[in-house]
Structures are given as structure tokens and as C-alpha cells.
Amino acid sequence: ATDVMDAFHSNKARNMYQRLPKSKPETAAVLDATVAPYSQTEINFRKLRDQLEADGWWERDFVHEAKLLAIWTSLVVGAGLTAQSAPPLSTLLLGLAMTNAGWLGHDYIHGVDKFSNFMRPFAAVAAGLGPTWWSDKHNKHHALTNEMGVDEDIATDPFLYPWAPDPKYDSPLRKIQHLIFYIPFSFLFALWRVDTLQVAVDSVETKRPDAKNELWFLLAHYFA
């Protein structure tokens, strides 16, 4: 299996697919001959990852997790308490809370341990972002990082150009995008949530795993 497949699966899953039927030696030789050999960079990365895991960097620090959730909770509570008395402050705190929720949800959805599986709905409840939509979109970003035409996280033209496009698709706004980038970025809040709901409904209709529960979590976000 590839490094990407290993990264996206838990230890339990990795042990399970080790028990799958293995290719015959002659078939494996043909497959190996069709791809480039492992580079020294790949080999060094694998050694580094194994060393970090052996040193305990993959072990969950529940005290640290509690601190992160406490920060998010304090922002939400602060936003609620100041909603009437200090609306600008409340808006700032709510914005920080949503940003915090997005990044915490990002980490939980990426996670492959039991705690992450339990906290997977957090992004839906706290930020209105569906785990299924996020996984479909963002895992592709990590599997095929910054590959033009594949990685949706860099498919931001014609509003933002991460590279110089074909002249016939260029825009005069590209020359000043470093000055106005915050304007298209601000629309992501609404765009991501619309996309999330579309994927959630489609997931229910196509009977994807846990799709109904995810939709209920999203509705709970908007109800709250």
C-alpha cells in the first residue's frame, strides 16, 4: 500500500489489509518495473515517521485536548454573554470560535484513533462543516497536494490565482489579489456550508455510512 493509504487509516485498519491476499512475486516484479523506485527522500521520511511514532508523538495528550476544547468553549460562552452588551466584541469572539472549531474539526476528522472517531461530529455541530464533505475534499488535497486540476483547495480561480494562468484565462484582478484576497476568502464561510449541506443530503440519498446522523448534527448546529 502507498504512504497515503497508510496515513489515512488506523493501526487496526492497516493490520487488516496486511491480511489481504498478496500479489505473486512475478506480478509484483512487473508492477515494480512500471513505477519509479523509491527516492531517498521517501525512505528518509518513512524512517522519520517511524521514529516519531516510536517516540510517542502519535499518542493522544488528553490534557492538551481538554485545553483546546476549553478555549473554544470560553470563546462561545464569551460571545453569548456579550451579544447584547457589546455586539462588536461578541462578533469577534464568535469569529474566533468558528475558526477554532474549524481547525479542531479538521484535526478530529483527520485523526485515526478512537478519540478522533468519537469527536468526528464536532465540526458539524460546532462549525456547520460536514465530515463527509471535508473528507472527500480535503483528503484529496493531502493525497495529491497542490496538483493542478485535482487539488480542489487550490482551485480558486478566477478569484485567486495560485499560479499564472493561460493568458486567455487571466484576470486584471490578479495583479492586485494580494490586496483584496480577504474579500473572496470571506465568501468561503457561506460557500463551504452550502457545499456541506449539498453533500450531506446527497450522502443520505446514496446511503453513505452514518449519513443521517451527520445531517442531524448539521441541523443541530443551525438550531443552536
Return the pLDDT at 144: 83
Return the pLDDT at 152: 83
Return the pLDDT at 79: 96
User: Is the CB of residue 75 less than 8 Å from the CB of residue 98?
Assistant: no
User: Which has the closest alpha carbon to 129: 158, 156, 94, 105?
Assistant: 105
Q: Report the C-alpha gap between 134 and 107 in whole angstroms.
A: 11
Q: Tens digit of pLDDT per residue, the chain (224 long)?
A: 578 877 787 777 878 888 888 888 888 888 888 888 888 998 998 899 889 989 998 899 999 999 999 999 999 999 999 999 999 999 999 999 999 999 999 999 988 889 999 999 999 999 999 999 988 888 888 888 888 888 888 888 888 888 888 898 899 989 999 999 999 888 888 889 999 999 999 999 999 989 999 999 999 999 88
The kind and range of the H/E element at 12 are helix 11-17
Return the pLDDT at 155: 82
Residue 177 contacts by C-beta under 8 Å, 6 or more apart in sequence?
Answer: 159, 160, 161
* Alpha carbon distances (Å) from 107 to 21, 63, 64, 187: 33, 16, 13, 23
Return the pLDDT at 1: 55
Return the pLDDT at 200: 95
Q: Report the C-alpha gap between 96 and 100 in whole angstroms.
A: 6
